């Protein structure tokens, strides 16, 4: 058990004194007396500082012993910083260049110093500002294929795979948060739930919707029992930072072994929700439609890139426990290998749609909402847009086995967005 008696939350004033003795940081930043520090954390859990010095800048992230979004009444273990560091190291190795460079990790202080991604913007913010990110879908599709494939039994040898499964089973507290907030709370009268005024009827309808609750139970069971690969575990668009030419994935503290479709579905859900919110963020209907089309196109590119890259890795790197080349290719049965791949990708796709439905429901009816909706000052408009997104999310969850393609899912989103 790690001794954390010395743990103390950082602040902008104490940070140069407390971290100024570390050579890795001095190399990057220059002398600590000249550091400029600002706290910029706007997430639900942690402190985040940007530290600028004469030679450069870094980001320092420190876990708090409670959930920032609720306060000290919700204590949380500091161990999440350890799991984030372990996860980012693996995800970065599996898709090099797609995560921030890690500079220093201090487990006792639950503190991670890393590359300052600049001029990157949180993708969610770029969506609200209408900024085009033409490579986002490609980069995320590649990231998802590489990390999900290379962390799985299709790729990993049995000892390493089981050691990682055991390691990340320790991140149980954060897994438990997802289990409750994503798969249970939106479908019951949970104490921390909140929603936009005007959505009382649909919130009540969700609580009474047996078919939807059965879907939630099934998706929760997939999440809890389908330990296919190391997931990021919270891959919404606040965990993505981007420029028009680069995309990075951050904030992996919810990492755990789970079904591949979870990361894919959460990511798609957040692209779709951003599209539903566009009407409130653009000057006119034409601009909202155009940017909404960009977001749906990004979802399309993401899935098609994921499929293509996963298929490439399947053919070239399928050397893990589940490899299966001995059953198919080695016996001249290429079609059998293709059939096994298709079966797997179909299962990821159907899971992704179910998880997307859960993510949309929880971001509108649960505790943790998204900025694209939360910043809409006109409450009537916000409720109208959220209602459309909820109807779409419900449809995905209930019809996940009947929606054949990303094009079909995008068409459903388009149709739902156009409703009065
Ligand atoms: C109490 S944590 C609430 C949410 O914030 C994180 O970003 C996760 O999405 C979690 O569900
Ligand atoms: Mg986060």
Please give the Cα distance from 115 to 44 (Å, whole number): 21
**Are residues 300 and 355 part of one domain?**
yes
Q: Name the domain boundary from 63, 96, 115.
A: 115
Residue by residue, pLDDT tens for the chain (420 residues) are 577 788 999 999 999 999 999 999 999 999 999 999 999 998 889 999 999 999 999 999 999 999 998 999 999 999 999 999 999 999 999 999 999 999 999 999 999 999 999 999 999 999 999 999 999 999 999 999 999 999 999 999 999 999 999 999 999 999 999 999 999 999 999 999 999 999 999 999 999 999 999 999 999 999 999 999 999 999 999 999 999 999 999 999 999 999 999 999 999 999 999 999 999 999 999 999 999 999 999 999 999 999 999 999 999 999 999 987 889 999 999 999 999 999 999 999 999 999 999 999 999 999 999 999 999 999 999 999 999 999 999 999 999 999 999 999 999 999 999 888
Pair (147, 179) in one structural domain: yes
Kindly state whether residue 6 falls inside one of the protein's structural domains.
no
Q: Which of 115, 141, 172 is the last residue of a domain?
A: 115
| 131 belongs to a structural domain | yes
Are 194 and 69 part of one and the same domain? Answer: no
| String of DSSP letters for 188-218 | TT-TT----TT-HHHHHHHHH-HHHHHHHHH
User: In terms of Cα–Cα distance, which of 236, 249, 231 is closest to 148?
Assistant: 231
> Distance, CA 294 to ligand 2 centroid (Å)?
25
279 DSSP β-pair partners = none
Count of the separate structural domains present in the chain: 2
Contacts of 336 (CB under 8 A, 6+ apart): 327, 328
Residue range(s) defining the domain that contains residue 401: 121-417
Contact 95, 65 (CB under 8 A): no
Asked whether residue 282 falls in the same domain as residue 393, the answer is yes
DSSP 282: S
Q: Is residue 287 part of a domain?
A: yes
Q: Which residue, 137, 154, 217, is CA-closest to 406?
A: 137
Mutation to probe ligand 1, out of 177, 178, 249, 362 (largest number of atoms < 8 A from CB): 177
Rg (CA), the chain: 22
pLDDT at 374: 98
d(Cα 373, Cα 198) in Å, to the nearest integer?
Answer: 14
Last residue of a domain, one of 52, 84, 115: 115
Do 240 and 379 belong to one domain? yes
Would you put residue 376 in left (φ > 0), alpha (ψ -120 to 50) or beta?
beta
Residues 97 and 174 in one domain: no
Contacts of 76 (CB under 8 A, 6+ apart): 45, 63, 64, 65, 66, 67, 173
**What whole-number distance in Å separates Cα of residue 312 and Cα of residue 286?**
38
pTM comes to 0.97
Residues 146 and 30 both lie in one domain? no
- Proximal ligand: closest to the CA of 252: 2
DSSP-assigned letter for residue 101: P
Does residue 8 lie within any of the structural domains?
no
At CA 393, angle to CA 260 and CA 419, rounded to 5?
145
**Is the same domain home to 229 and 155?**
yes
Nearest to 42 by CA among 270, 383, 369, 266: 369
Tell me: do 174 and 281 sit in the same domain. Answer: yes
Taking the centre of ligand 2 as the mean of its atom positions, its distance from the CA of residue 66, in whole angstroms, is 14
Q: Is residue 368 part of a domain?
A: yes
pLDDT of res. 419: 86
Rounded to an integer, what distance in angstroms lies between the CA atom of residue 389 and that of residue 278?
12
* 64 Cα to the center of ligand 1, angstroms: 14
Do 346 and 331 reside in the same domain of the chain? yes
Residues lying with their CB under 5 A of ligand 2, a single-atom ion: 43, 251
Q: Is residue 202 part of a domain?
A: yes
Residues framing ligand 1 (Cβ under 6 A): 43-45, 67, 69, 177-178, 181, 234, 367-368
**What's the CATH code of the domain at 72?**
3.30.200.20
408 falls within a domain: yes
- C-alpha distance from residue 112 to each of 161, 218, 395 (Å): 25, 36, 40
Q: Are 51 and 190 contained in the same domain? A: no
Same domain, 334 and 375: yes
The number of the ligand 1 atom at minimal distance from the alpha carbon of 70 is 1
Q: Is residue 152 part of a domain?
A: yes
């Amino acid at each position: 058990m790690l001794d954390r008696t010395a743990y103390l939350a950082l602040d902008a004033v104490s940070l140069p004194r407390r971290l100024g003795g570390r050579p890795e940081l001095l190399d990057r930043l220059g002398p600590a007396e000249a550091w400029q520090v600002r706290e910029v954390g706007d997430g639900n859990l942690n402190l985040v500082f940007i530290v600028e010095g004469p030679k450069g800048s870094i980001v320092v992230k420190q876990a708090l012993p409670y959930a920032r979004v609720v306060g000290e009444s919700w204590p949380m273990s500091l161990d999440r910083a350890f799991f984030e560091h372990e996860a980012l190291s693996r995800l970065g190795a599996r898709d090099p260049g797609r995560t921030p460079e890690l500079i220093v990790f201090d487990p006792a202080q639950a503190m991670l110093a890393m590359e300052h991604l600049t001029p990157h913007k949180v993708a969610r913010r770029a969506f609200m500002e209408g900024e085009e990110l033409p490579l986002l879908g490609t980069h995320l599709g590649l990231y998802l294929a590489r990390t999900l494939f290379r962390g799985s039994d299709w790729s990993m040898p049995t000892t390493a795979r089981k050691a990682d499964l055991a390691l990340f089973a320790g991140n149980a507290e954060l897994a438990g948060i997802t289990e409750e907030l994503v798969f249970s709370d939106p479908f019951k009268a949970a104490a921390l739930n909140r929603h936009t005024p005007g959505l009382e009827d649909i919130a009540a309808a969700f609580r009474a919707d047996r078919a939807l609750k059965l879907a939630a139970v099934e998706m929760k069971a997939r999440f809890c029992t389908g330990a296919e690969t190391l997931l990021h575990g919270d891959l919404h668009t606040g965990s993505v930072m981007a420029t028009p030419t680069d995309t990075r994935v951050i904030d992996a503290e919810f990492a755990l072994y789970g079904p591949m479709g979870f990361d894919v579905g959460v990511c798609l859900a957040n692209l779709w929700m951003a599209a539903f919110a566009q009407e409130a963020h653009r000057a006119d209907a034409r601009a909202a439609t155009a940017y909404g089309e960009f977001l749906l196109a990004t979802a399309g590119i993401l899935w098609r890139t994921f499929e293509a890259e996963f298929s490439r890795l399947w053919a070239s790197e399928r050397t893990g426990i589940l490899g299966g080349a001995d059953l198919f290719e080695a016996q001249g049965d290429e079609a059998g290998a293709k059939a096994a791949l298709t079966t797997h990708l179909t299962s990821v796709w159907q899971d992704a749609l179910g998880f997307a439905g859960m993510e949309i429901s929880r971001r509108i009816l649960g505790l943790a909402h998204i900025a694209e909706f939360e910043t809409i000052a006109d409450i009537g408009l916000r409720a109208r847009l959220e209602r459309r997104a909820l109807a779409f999310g419900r449809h995905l969850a209930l019809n996940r086995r009947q929606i054949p393609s990303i094009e079909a899912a995008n068409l459903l989103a388009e149709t739902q967005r156009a409703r009065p």
